Amino acid sequence: MTRAPGLLAPLLGLGLGLSPPGAGAADCGSLGGAERLAFAPAAKVHWLAPRVRPLGALSPLYGTVRRFLSVVQLNPFPAELVKTLLNEPASVKVDEVVRYEAGYVVCAVIAGLYLLVVSIAGLCFCCCRCRRRCGGRVKTEHKAVAWERGTLAAFLLLTTLVLLIGVVCAFVTNQHMHEQVGPSVEAVPEILLSLRGLVSDVPQELQAVAQQFSLPQKRVLEELDGVGMSIGSTIHTQLKSTVYEALASVSSLGQALQVSVDHLQALNTTLVELRKGQQDLEPAIREHRARLLALLQEPGCRRCTEAQSRARALELGADFHQVSTVDDVLHRLKGVPEATFSSMVQEENSTFNALPLLVALQTANVVKELKKLVAQKPEGLNTLAEEFPGWEAASRWSRALKEVEQSSRPYLKEVQRYEKYRWILGCVLCSAVLLVVVCNLLGLNLGIWGLSAREDPSCSEAKGEAGARFLLIGVGFSFFFAAPLILLVFATFLVGGNVQTLVCQSWESKELYKFADTPGNLPPSMNLSHLLGLKKNISILLAYQQCREGAALWNILQLNGSYDLEKHLNISQYTAKLQQELQNLKVDMKNLDLLSPAAHRDLEALQSSGLEKIHYSGFLVQIQKPVVNTSMEKLAQELEELSQAQGSSVLGQQLQEEAQGLKNLYQEKILPQQSLVAKLNLSVRALASSAPNLQLETSGVLDKVAYLKGELPTWATSILRNESECFLTREVGYFSQYVAWVKEEVTQRIATCQPLSRALDNGRVVLCDMMANPWNAFWFCLAWCTFFLIPSIIFAVKTSKYFHPIWKRLSSTSSEETQLFHIPRVTSLKL
């Protein structure tokens, strides 16, 4: 049984160095780290299209108006005045307002003087015209008449062209203003809706962030479904080499036990047969020996001396009665093997291979409790949105913005309606100025045409008279429309100028933000930090600049000190409960015996049988001896040869008969006995070589099975704890991903206030660039036309005189009657 040493080596190795597989090493290779979760962005995209300052042909005009207003208003932003106006409106002093509005007061005085002077001049002109004292004729022709007439006509034409340019610009700016009102009015609800969306979406976005906790929850619940099988597979994987090796040792030992028992039984049976054959063979050998010696010792036997020595050696060689029996060993091994080791090992293998399913069944109740625990949401997440700073303020602001947006629509419609009236009034007044321009141009054209067609300067001519009348009509229109023009100009100038200088300039230079940031400037009801429910004051200017860069409200409102995000994202208690429940996972391996009771009895019987104590050397000594000391075949052959050499036929016949008897004895007795000896030799040698090692193997297997029976549950529990920790680490990794994502989402992405800065910028563009610029340009052009009506009136009245016939008078002091009968000298007058 030469395979025994090969079986012993692994058993000795197992017996000397048994340790739990992977003991003490937190190897999570079977589970691995948490996979990357894909969270849906909770922050909504708030897009407000940026509005930019419209550039065009009117930009230089707008710049001129702004420079003019900067000259009118030389005072800086009235921080103290505005502060008093906002906090204590009743204590505002008129002299402070007048001092700040000094430039406008001067303009108001100028407008008043203009209105007064033009009105008085208009009344005087009307009275003069009624008495035919204004707009008369040139009384005397002299050399400078032509130059005076040409100069006045040139100045009137130049003034008319200036008026024409001004009225065209007024028409354009009036129309541009009218066109900008529609988009500007539409921009207001758009801005309010954007702000409302920004404010109202913050709670929704926070709730969406809290709801995303379902993503790691779902993943953990999915993995909990297979955690039992996973842990069981890991236990199986880490223990299979040890268990398979032990079962292989048991299977090999079972085969060796069966072979040894078979050889022992064969040894005993053969020994019994050899002893019985020896008892039958000994008398026959003795008889043949006696007869041969008697024949060979007869006097007449020729050449029988050598045969006599062979005949004397004819006796039994091996004596199997001298060896001890194995009945005691066989008695101890009676019924062995009781167990079928191959079936038992196969059954234990099946039991061990079913370990993953067994663990899944044993951990099912704990997994069920874990699922209930995972299905719950940490308390901090439930209040993540409700306790967020400004939660109530956001609701109030959202409602307020909604109310403002809804209530503003009727007013915006009214603005559009009144804008239509303003546009009509502007068109009427511009048309009035244009009418003056037309009258001036017609008057100049007809007057010059009439002068060129007139032969005698004193003669009346229809075209010249018509030209003079058109000029005077223009003068009349100028006086008539001057008052409403100056009133409209000053009213629009006062509103638009203050909007530009007080609001737009300070808005663009960030002085408004600095004013709002200064403590005490704004009343408590307008304090932004108070309105948002913040514990710290924030800088509006800094917030605006950060908003333009796309910062989130978390950084803008400095919520680190007023809102403990870590408290709401603290899942340590949650994970502690998970860990506590995971510690309840247990694995029961009592069904894995490795060695059945019957197999255990078989091995104990083998261990105590004394198989190794059998005197195998005694067997080998007898086996090495021949059955008979002499070779019966050679002796029979020699006797046949001697029978032929004998002189006596009777002796020869007797020797021949003895030879044949020996042959028969050899075939009938010796050969079966030799076969039994060979069989005995095989069993003895097999047992002699395997018995000592077999005892060591049996002891090793029994010790190993006993050790594994006690240690396998401990190892399985250790692996279970390690896998539980790995599983907990993996699942906590999912929740950690969620916590990190929430921190990034809340602090960097949720409620980005870029729409707020965009709304402020758009509001400034709408108010200042789209509304104030054309508004101010309109009154500037209208004021231009209004003030140029004065030179237009003067030059029109002066020029109209030269389009009438000239009254000619002599330089003498004769009476008028004499001049009536004076015959004038024929002269040629040149205009």
Mean pLDDT by 10 residues, the chain (831 residues): 37 39 54 77 66 76 90 86 83 84 90 89 79 54 69 88 90 87 79 72 76 85 85 85 87 86 87 86 82 77 74 79 82 80 86 84 83 78 64 65 75 83 88 90 84 57 77 86 88 90 88 82 70 67 79 71 68 76 75 79 81 83 84 79 73 80 84 88 87 84 85 83 83 85 79 77 85 89 89 85 59 38 40 32
What's the pLDDT at 824?
Answer: 46
What's the pLDDT at 141?
Answer: 54
Helix (H, G, I), strand (E, B) or coil at 628: strand
Rounded to whole angstroms, the Cα distance separating 45 from 49 reads 12
Extract the tokens encoding 508. Answer: 């663009």
DSSP type of residue 37: P
Q: Which residues neighbour 210 within 8 Å (Cβ) at sequence distance 6 or greater? A: 377, 381, 382, 384, 385
**In whole angstroms, what separates CA 196 from the centre of its chain?**
27
What's the pLDDT at 113?
Answer: 92
Residue 185 identity: V
What's the pLDDT at 3?
Answer: 39
Closest to 156 measured CA to CA, from 461, 475, 413: 475
Query: What confidence tens digit (pLDDT) does each residue in 574-590 have?
Result: 778 777 877 777 777 77
Closest to 253 measured CA to CA, from 245, 243, 242, 241: 245
Closest to 264 measured CA to CA, from 552, 670, 680: 680
What's the pLDDT at 361?
Answer: 84
What's the pLDDT at 389?
Answer: 59
Scan for tokens 């309010």, then name that residue: 192
Contact 122, 482 (CB under 8 A): yes
Q: Where are the domains of the chain?
A: 58-134+389-560+752-803, 221-374+588-749
Name the helix (H) or strand (E) containing 201: helix 145-211
Rounded to whole angstroms, the Cα distance separating 203 from 385 reads 6
The secondary structure of 334-397 as a DSSP string is TT---S-HHHHHHHHHHHHHTHHHHHHHHTHHHHHHHHHHHHS--HHHHTTTTTSTTHHHHHHH
The secondary structure of 378-389 as a DSSP string is -HHHHTTTTTST
Q: What is the 3-state composition of the chain as percent helix, strand, coil, each rounded to the nearest 5?
A: 75, 0, 25
Partners of residue 552 on adjacent β-strands = 752
What's the pLDDT at 168?
Answer: 92
Residue 446 identity: L
Helix (H, G, I), strand (E, B) or coil at 31: coil
Rounded to whole angstroms, the Cα distance separating 430 from 309 reads 171
Q: Which residues neighbour 525 within 8 Å (Cβ) at sequence distance 6 or greater? A: none
What's the pLDDT at 821?
Answer: 38
| End-to-end Cα separation, the chain, in angstroms | 158
Distances (CA, A) of 296 to 202, 299, 594, 647, 746: 134, 8, 72, 13, 127
Closest to 802 measured CA to CA, from 448, 455, 362, 522: 448
Rounded to whole angstroms, the Cα distance separating 735 from 219 reads 10
Helix (H, G, I), strand (E, B) or coil at 316: strand
Rounded to whole angstroms, the Cα distance separating 207 from 391 reads 12
Instruction: Please tell me the pTM assigned to this model.
Output: 0.65
Give long-range contacts, CB 8 A cutoff, 24+ apart: 502-508.
502/73, 502/77, 502/78, 503/767, 503/768, 504/764, 504/767, 504/768, 504/772, 505/70, 505/77, 506/77, 507/764, 507/768, 508/764, 508/768
What's the pLDDT at 453?
Answer: 62
Rounded to whole angstroms, the Cα distance separating 332 from 465 reads 163
Phi and psi at residue 593, in whole multiples of 5°? -95, -30
Residue 600 identity: H
